[in-house]
């Protein structure tokens, strides 16, 4: 018993867990107003349970004027009425807990909405106690040329008080002043309030931006946002914040753009600020144009760097291939043409779900939802897409130009991952009985949950199997990481090992067949197939896949089909 207890303490729950990200607005509408809501999530908790999900990260559901879909919060302690009420939220937490699913919320504390009472007070002038909750410069001359991440200057002038405030994102999202201790205490009080309600942790939004450089600082040559991203000294605030988190048994995942693998142990090591962070190195490698090919070598290098840096207890990774800020992974890391889509989606799943860290699945990823072919510019909703469209139209405005922009948006816009969840073949993909707030991807007739639940060889069934594999083989949680053939332009091949035990993951990430020369460290032993995706979900006992059942000792080569994924266990 002593031992058991010690073991349990050494392995926190979130290391063995699988996370699922819900974008509430697009998940499931329960009342026909076309907008996803908390009731819609409650009704589908069973679906998540069957998939094997242990915790859910909810994108913001707080009161918000929705300039940036909830990332502009006007009241941290209230629920946006379009999603439901505080009572719905408490019910959701309870019902999820009854099923053994934890709930973590988005914590947006780099900025508020300009409609937040603090900002309204701040606009009253320098004497107002809330003025200093935000970041100001006197007069109307910009103190610098810093560019906002959402386009334009970071400065917005307020004539009434002859001052400008700083906003790293949209001008409706003024940045909070982390140098103000009262502001920080108010934020901590709010955090404790939520945790006392029984939520299980936070995904902390845009947290690497809370510290700003002195105004005269110039951006680095290749990086416009460097003056306000992971700026030296940020640790002082993060450490204070992490003390609040450590009062509770929760999980914390920081969104940490600009943090390098080298720096990661400071962020997520034993005394780190968070349990894990979403890094940006691998995710930024997606192909931006149709027919572009992915740089497999660069992807392996980026993922491998984080794997190695945090191995042997140095920290812990958050594993993800998709979220609400990037296009659909099957479209931009794989291939969404009908002949390849299922293979590519399952290849990507195999590749990242078995790495060391806690995997996150973004809603719809588990059925291989794809990018959207937008048909008119009004179909786009995202604030950054709109800004970009406006800018591009300013340079030139005609029908050809619009078509060009549509094509661009259909491959790069954040709206690609925000189209409604595809539940079944009924109207609007079963997402709503009303008019959906955002266009439904017409491919719901072939890509949807209901059909894939029935099919043993669907992407969804493959995800379930893969998750079960991860859950039953502790080596995928506790094992170390080693990769082979880093220069191979098509295949990612890595091993997880724990003492004598070894698992090998081999994935062809391209639409061409591939061949690898097996390194002696692999061919020195024989291996048996555990699972593969040709056909999808095939495994050793599967009569459909009599091939590649074994990697024989001294075997020199292994040939792979397009997007083939194979998982072997050492004999």
Site string for ligand GLC, 163-182 (x = CB under 6 A): ------x-------------
How far apart CA 313 and CA 296 sit, in angstroms, is 27
Residues 6+ apart with CB under 8 A from 238: 207, 210, 267, 273
Q: How far is the CB of 406 from ligand GLC (least distance, A)?
A: 22
Q: How far is the CB of 333 from ligand GLC (least distance, A)?
A: 19
State yes or no: is 311 an active-site residue: no
Q: Is 325 in the site for ligand GLC (CB under 6 A)?
A: yes
In 10 A of CB 284, how many CB atoms?
11
Q: What residue 564 binds from ligand GLC, Ca ion, none (CB within 5 to 8 A, per partner kind)?
A: none
Task: Please say which residue, 283 or 522, places its beta carbon nearer to ligand GLC.
Answer: 283
φ/ψ (deg, to 5) at 222: -100, 15
Residue 324: both structure tokens together: 């609400």
Q: What residue 71 binds from ligand GLC, Ca ion, none (CB within 5 to 8 A, per partner kind)?
A: ligand GLC
Site string for ligand GLC, 50-79 (x = CB under 6 A): ------------------x--x--------
# residues contacting ligand GLC (CB under 6 A): 9
The correct pick among 19, 21, 29, 343 for binding Ca ion (CB under 5 A) is 29
State yes or no: is 33 an active-site residue: no
The single-letter DSSP state of residue 341 is H
Site string for Ca ion, 37-66 (x = CB under 5 A): x-----------------------------
Identify whether the C-beta of residue 53 lies closer than 8 Å to the C-beta of residue 100. no
How far apart CA 384 and CA 67 sit, in angstroms, is 10
Question: What's the first-to-final CA gap in the chain, in angstroms?
Answer: 32
Torsion angle, CA of 528/534/538/539, rounded to 10 degrees?
A: 0
Stretch that binds Ca ion, among 33-41, 131-139, 478-486, 550-558 (CB under 5 A): 33-41
Q: How far is the CB of 409 from ligand GLC (least distance, A)?
A: 16
How buried is 405 (Cβ within 10 angstroms: 0-12 exposed, 13-18 middle, 19+ buried)? buried
- Could you identify the residue written with the tokens 């922009």? 405
Q: What residue 35 binds from Ca ion, ligand GLC, none (CB within 5 to 8 A, per partner kind)?
A: Ca ion
Q: What is the DSSP string of 464-487?
A: HHHHHHHHH-THHHH-EEEEE-TT
Q: How far is the CB of 84 from ligand GLC (least distance, A)?
A: 21
Stretch that binds Ca ion, among 26-34, 178-186, 335-343, 475-483 (CB under 5 A): 26-34
The single-letter DSSP state of residue 176 is B
Residue whose Cβ sits closest to Ca ion: 37
Where would I find the H helices in 24-85?
38-42, 45-51
Q: How far is the CB of 451 from Ca ion (least distance, A)?
A: 24
How far apart CA 391 and CA 151 sit, in angstroms, is 9
Q: Is 180 in the site for Ca ion (CB under 5 A)?
A: no
Q: Which of 255, 322, 379, 415 is catalytic?
A: 255
Q: Which residues are catalytic?
A: 205, 255
Residue ranges in contact with Ca ion by CB under 5 A: 29, 31, 33, 35, 37
Residue ranges in contact with ligand GLC by CB under 6 A: 68, 71, 108, 169, 205-206, 255, 324-325
């Amino acid at each position: 018993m002593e031992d058991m207890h010690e073991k349990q303490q050494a392995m926190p729950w979130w290391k063995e867990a699988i996370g699922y990200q819900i974008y509430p607005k697009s998940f499931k509408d329960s009342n026909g107003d076309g907008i996803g809501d908390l009731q819609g999530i409650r009704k589908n908790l069973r679906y998540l349970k069957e998939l094997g999900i242990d915790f859910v990260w909810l994108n913001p559901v707080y009161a918000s004027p929705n300039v940036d879909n909830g990332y502009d919060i006007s009241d941290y302690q209230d629920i946006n009425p379009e999603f439901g009420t505080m009572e719905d939220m408490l019910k959701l937490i309870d019902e999820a807990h009854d099923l053994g699913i934890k709930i973590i919320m988005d914590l947006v504390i780099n900025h508020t909405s300009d409609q937040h009472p603090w900002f309204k007070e701040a606009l009253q002038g320098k004497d107002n106690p809330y003025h200093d909750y935000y970041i100001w410069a006197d007069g109307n001359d910009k103190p610098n040329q810093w560019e906002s991440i959402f386009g334009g200057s970071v400065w917005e002038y307020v004539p009434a008080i002859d001052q400008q405030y700083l906003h790293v994102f949209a001008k409706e999202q003024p940045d909070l002043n982390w140098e103000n201790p009262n502001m920080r205490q108010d934020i901590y009080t709010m955090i404790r309030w939520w945790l006392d309600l029984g939520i299980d942790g936070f995904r902390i939004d845009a947290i690497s931006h809370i510290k700003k450089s002195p105004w005269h600082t110039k951006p680095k040559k290749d990086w416009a946002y460097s003056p306000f991203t992971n700026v030296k000294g940020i640790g002082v605030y993060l450490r204070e914040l992490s003390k609040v988190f450590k009062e509770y048994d929760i999980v914390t995942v920081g969104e940490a753009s600009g943090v390098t693998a080298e720096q990661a142990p400071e962020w997520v090591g034993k005394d780190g600020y968070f349990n894990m962070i979403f890094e940006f190195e691998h995710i930024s490698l997606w192909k931006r144009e149709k027919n572009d090919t992915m740089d497999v070598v660069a992807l392996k290098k980026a993922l491998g760097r984080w794997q190695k840096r945090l191995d042997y207890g140095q920290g812990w990774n958050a594993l993800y291939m998709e979220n609400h800020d990037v296009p659909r992974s099957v479209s931009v890391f794989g291939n969404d043409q009908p002949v390849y889509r299922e293979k590519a989606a399952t290849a990507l799943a195999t590749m990242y779900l078995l790495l060391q860290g806690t995997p996150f699945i973004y809603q719809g990823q588990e059925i291989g939802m794809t990018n959207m072919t937008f048909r008119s510019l009004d179909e786009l909703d995202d604030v950054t897409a709109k800004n970009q469209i406006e800018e591009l139209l300013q340079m030139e405005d005609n029908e050809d130009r619009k078509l060009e922009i549509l094509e661009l948006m259909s491959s790069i816009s954040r709206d690609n991952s925000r189209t409604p969840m595809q539940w079944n073949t009924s109207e609007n993909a079963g997402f709503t009985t009303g008019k959906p707030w955002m266009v439904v991807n017409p491919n719901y007739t072939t890509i949807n949950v209901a059909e894939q639940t029935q099919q043993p060889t669907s992407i969804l069934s493959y995800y379930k199997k893969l998750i079960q594999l991860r859950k039953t083989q502790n080596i995928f949680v506790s094992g170390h990481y080693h990769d082979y053939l880093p220069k191979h332009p098509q295949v990612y091949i890595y091993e997880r090992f724990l003492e004598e035990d070894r698992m090998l993951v081999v994935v062809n990430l391209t639409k061409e067949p591939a061949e690898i020369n097996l390194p002696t460290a692999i061919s020195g032993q024989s291996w048996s197939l555990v699972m593969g995706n040709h056909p999808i979900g095939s495994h050793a006992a599967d009569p459909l896949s009599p091939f590649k059942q074994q990697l024989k000792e001294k075997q020199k080569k292994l040939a792979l089909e397009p997007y083939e994924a194979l998982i072997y266990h050492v004999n």
